[in-house]
């Protein structure tokens, strides 16, 4: 904004990412020359159909799945809704139980709450103060009528990685011993490009992904649905996506998704060390310059890219405005409710007092983040806090 060089220091990659040029280039022909409907029979439609198949192949390769286990959706949120409600709607209405966690994204929590209103039951398992779910505790919540378990792979606010494989194994065992047929879903939207998405290593039956968190387009998601799993479609119509999600396929966005996922997977291991180093520098710098700062969670069980820090006695939103004034884009908890400052449900689940949780800021690094960006934050943040504390009512 008013930074001297007019360059925005973008540290909000967990909210969304800029599209990569390679992705844009690959999408462009499908808006104009190759615009055919993949279901039509002439040759131009064949190009669209072929592109759809190619993207499905690319994604199946990264997930170590079959191509027909990949369902394209309109967003990560839609993927989560399809997994959760789509499975619930195959059952006798209002009957059955879901186990999930208290730190899921709202695109999991809200559909589960919707189902609760319809008569389904749900259990939300809490986390320890580092944001980790206890696998034993999670699995012990399974009942004879449990049909779904959902645990996110990487948390979008504090970056905690869950032991999904272990939780899924124990959940399945627990289901078997009480006669429940439990399917396991994971929201892996924040994990893509950061940790392995191999669905067999993870031991999951369903997995959600989103294009715009991996330098791909907004408005496209993927739901991996393991062979044999039957879902009631949320959108019915022409029977596209093997009747699991109707609507003419959004070929350009799907092509962009395939390319974005392939590129982010191919760079995953090589970017990890750099991300770790930048992240360590930021965390260390914050602790040095602002000893009162509380770094949320425990860095060793987190992806390095996501850093959440809480301050007592200031509002996260005010810190953000101060940072924005210095050309730095970050985010505060999950206070998306415009009218009031709501403490993040994730930070409350870690056991934070609401008064501390409202003073939190999230920095999320990305592939273009540099050492200079980190230096900028370490310069700006103490100044912003000093100003806010000197004039506490001026917000």
Residues of this chain that interact with ligand PLP (CB under 6 A) are 75-77, 105, 107, 152, 156, 187, 189-190, 210, 212-213, 221
Cβ atoms of 2 and 325 within 8 Å: the answer is yes
Catalytic residues, which ones? 336
Measured from the Cβ of residue 354, the count of other Cβ atoms closer than 10 Å reads 13
Dist CA 88 CA 99 (whole Å): 13
CB of 325 to ligand PLP, least distance (A): 26
Write the secondary structure of 90-117 as one string of H (helix), E (strand) and C (coil): CCCCCCCEEEEECCCCHHHHHHHHHHHH
Residue 391 — left, alpha, or beta (φ > 0 → left; ψ -120 to 50 → alpha)? beta
Cβ atoms of 334 and 157 within 8 Å: the answer is yes
DSSP class of residue 146?
A: E
- Which residue, 152 or 231, is less far from ligand PLP as judged by CB? 152
Tokens of 214: 């991996």
Half-sphere exposure of 41 (CA within 13 A, CB side): 0
Dist CA 174 CA 176 (whole Å): 5
Measured from the Cβ of residue 42, the count of other Cβ atoms closer than 10 Å reads 9
Tokens of 87: 């499975």
Tokens of 56: 């499905």
Tokens 């501390």, residue? 356
- Which residue, 209 or 381, is less far from ligand PLP as judged by CB? 209
Which of 253, 210, 202 shows the shortest CA–CA distance to 226? 202
CB of 219 to ligand PLP, least distance (A): 7
Measured from the Cβ of residue 267, the count of other Cβ atoms closer than 10 Å reads 13
| Distance in Å from the first CA to the final CA of the chain | 19
Cβ atoms of 143 and 122 within 8 Å: the answer is no
Which of 206, 191, 224, 76 shows the shortest CA–CA distance to 150? 206
């Amino acid at each position: 904004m008013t930074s001297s060089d007019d360059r925005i220091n973008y540290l909000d990659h967990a909210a969304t990412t800029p599209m990569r040029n390679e992705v844009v280039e690959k999408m462009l022909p499908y808006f104009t020359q190759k615009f055919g409907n993949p279901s039509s029979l002439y040759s131009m439609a064949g190009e669209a159909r072929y592109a759809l198949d190619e993207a499905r192949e690319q994604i199946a390769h990264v997930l170590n799945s079959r191509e027909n286990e990949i369902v394209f959706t309109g967003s990560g949120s839609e993927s989560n809704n399809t997994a959760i409600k789509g499975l619930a709607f195959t059952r006798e209405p209002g009957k059955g139980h879901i186990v999930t966690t208290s730190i899921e994204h709202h695109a999991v929590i809200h559909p589960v709450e919707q189902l609760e209103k319809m008569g389904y039951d749900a259990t939300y398992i809490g986390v320890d103060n580092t944001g980790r779910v206890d696998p034993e505790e999670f699995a012990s919540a399974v009942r004879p009528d449990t049909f779904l378990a959902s645990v996110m792979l990487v948390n979008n606010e504090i970056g905690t990685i869950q032991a999904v494989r272990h939780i899924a194994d124990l959940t399945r065992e627990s289901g078997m011993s009480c006669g429940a047929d439990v399917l396991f879903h994971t929201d892996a939207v924040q994990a893509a490009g950061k940790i392995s998405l191999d669905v067999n290593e993870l031991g999951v039956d369903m997995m959600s992904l989103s294009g715009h968190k991996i330098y791909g387009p907004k408005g496209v998601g993927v739901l991996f649905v393991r062979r044999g799993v039957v879902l009631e479609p949320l959108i019915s119509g022409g029977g596209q996506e093997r009747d699991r999600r109707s609507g003419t396929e959004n070929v350009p966005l799907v092509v962009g998704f395939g390319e974005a996922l392939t590129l982010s997977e191919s760079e995953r291991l090589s970017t990890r060390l750099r991300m770790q180093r930048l992240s360590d520098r930021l965390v260390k710098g914050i602790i040095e310059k602002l000893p009162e700062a509380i770094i949320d969670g425990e860095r060793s069980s987190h992806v390095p890219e996501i850093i959440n820090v809480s301050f007592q006695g200031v509002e996260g939103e005010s810190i953000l405005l101060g940072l924005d004034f210095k050309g730095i884009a970050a985010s505060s908890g999950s206070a998306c409710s415009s009218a009031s400052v709501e403490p993040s449900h994730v930070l409350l689940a870690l056991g934070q007092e609401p008064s501390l949780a409202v003073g939190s800021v999230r920095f999320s690094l990305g592939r273009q983040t540099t050492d200079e960006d980190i230096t900028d934050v370490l310069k700006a943040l103490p100044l912003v806090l000093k100003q806010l504390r000197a004039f506490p009512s001026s917000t």
